[in-house]
Amino acid sequence: MSITGFGANLVTGGSGSSLLQWRLLTRTQDRQKAMMMADPVNSADTAYARARLPHVGTVDDLMSDRRLYTYVMRAFGLEDQVNSQALVRKVLESDLSDNGSVANRMGDPRFRELAGAFNFGPAAGNGTSGPSFVGQISDRYVTALFEREIGQRNKALEIMLDFSRKLPDKASWADLMDDPDMASVVRTVYGLPPPIGPADAASQARDLENTIPFAEMRLPPTQAQFRRDFFDVWDYEGNPRGGPVASRVQWDMMTSTYDRDRAAFAARPDVRRGLAELAAKLPAVTTAGDLLADRRLLVPVLTAFGLEDMAADTNRLRLVLASDPADPGSFAAKAGDREKALALAFGTANSGARRRGSPAFVTDIVKRYETQSFEVSAGNANEALRLGLYFQRKAGGITSWYQVLADKALAEFARTALGLPDQAAQIDLDRQVTILQGRLDIKKLADPAEVAKLVERFMMMYDINGDGAAAVASSPAIQLLSGSGRTTIDPSTLMALATTRRW
């Protein structure tokens, strides 16, 4: 795989000053991006990445595949670090909640972006050995079918398996009682009637907290007693239990052999066919429409999330998949935990909760690759274009001049656009911030119109400073402004002017 510069002959701003090149580039960038990504090398590498990313579950999965690893490093603008594998591994394994982790200590924000995107660190909850996206869905699929078969013998066992799996994710009785299935189990054990409205539901949650604090409910001994009570009530009420053996005894027998029996179940031919369908087709899913259009894939996916009864309701599924699961008011969040889990895995609006290898995750990596490649290729034609594209992309998230100065490319852009000499980078950091604050209110970067004006100013200043030598030579106006061929101002004088306080 090529690392730098491929597609450069496709991306151009034409000729003339950097400002003229920038204006041409911004008018044609969509078409030029499409041409660049259609380049045979880009097209083949992107197809490979789309096929392989859903199977990445560990750091080793990523780093042992040189082609995929290089693609990812390019996507984050870190192609020059491809061979620094020991460092990259430490970055990928970083816990971003720990300020002392390697990714957080790196001065370059791109390393933190890489670590955050793949989320291999301990804060992800599964360390560096979590299953790939295909593995996650496949595991859910096997579990759903296996526990459904258990439920055909004794529904109480299936109900309690589901309850026990969800309990660690609940933070309070109110949170638990918001789940209809879990609430039904609690009401069965404690003889509570269905609540009449939200106020009654809140009152029940308070009563439960006063009787058994939720922190105590999460303890293993309390959970074990709760399960026994549920099975005893189930049997006492005459519910089917599939034989003469008490449900609580069946539970103990089932859990003692669960892993072995589940593995044997997964090896059955009919189950293996469903798993093969998932492994073959999941990597090709890039949109909700792709999933909904393939019924042979849709059914096992919905089965994995316990939603197979929704297979024919494509309108509802579209609403679920279009939801942001992080928004409590979204359709999926209101519909229930199963719908929320489906949106988390396959939805397009799940930015904060994106799962490694999911369609949204893969699309994000490919988009990063496209953007980074376009900027590098534009920079091969004119470095000013790369810096302008990079600043334009980052500007909306800039809230501090310290943030700008921590990024080498942003700092270069700011000094050039605001008329500071290169020597300004050598003075005290706080003093640099003070100077920049005097030149531009950082809040203006939230306005795209202000950003556009600043980028155009940068293009002019870049050529005036002599960085765009070809543009200076071809532009009489820039020659006049830059003093080409005439006596120039000494850099120390420029430095003094730049750092003089303005009143």
The CATH code of the domain at 39-130+360-369 is: 1.10.3700.10
Please, which contacts does 142-150 make with residues 24 or more away whose CB atoms are closer than 8 Å? 142/262, 142/265, 142/266, 142/271, 142/275, 143/262, 144/303, 144/304, 144/305, 144/306, 145/265, 145/271, 145/274, 145/303, 146/261, 146/262, 146/265, 146/266, 149/265, 150/254
Does the pTM surpass 0.85? The reply is: no
Helix axes 180-190, 155-166, angle to 10 degrees: 110
Q: Residue 193: helix, strand or coil by DSSP?
A: coil
Per-residue pLDDT of the chain (503 residues; tens, 9 = 90+): 333 445 545 677 777 888 898 898 889 888 888 888 888 888 999 999 999 999 998 999 999 999 999 999 999 999 889 999 999 999 999 988 888 899 999 878 899 999 988 888 775 444 445 788 999 999 999 999 999 999 999 999 999 999 999 999 899 999 999 889 999 999 999 999 999 888 999 999 999 999 999 999 999 999 999 999 999 999 999 999 988 999 999 999 999 999 999 999 999 999 999 999 999 999 988 888 899 999 999 999 999 999 999 999 999 999 999 988 888 899 998 888 899 989 988 877 665 545 788 888 898 899 999 999 888 888 888 899 999 999 999 998 899 999 899 888 999 999 999 988 888 888 888 999 999 999 999 999 999 999 999 999 999 999 888 765 444 444 444 444 444 444 444 444 444 544 454 43
Query: How far is CA 402 from its chain centroid?
Result: 25
Q: Could you tell me the residue ranges of all domains in the chain?
A: 39-130+360-369, 133-266, 285-355, 389-499
462: left (phi over 0), alpha (psi -120 to 50) or beta: alpha
Close Cβ partners of 89 (under 8 Å, ≥ 6 residues apart): 59, 63
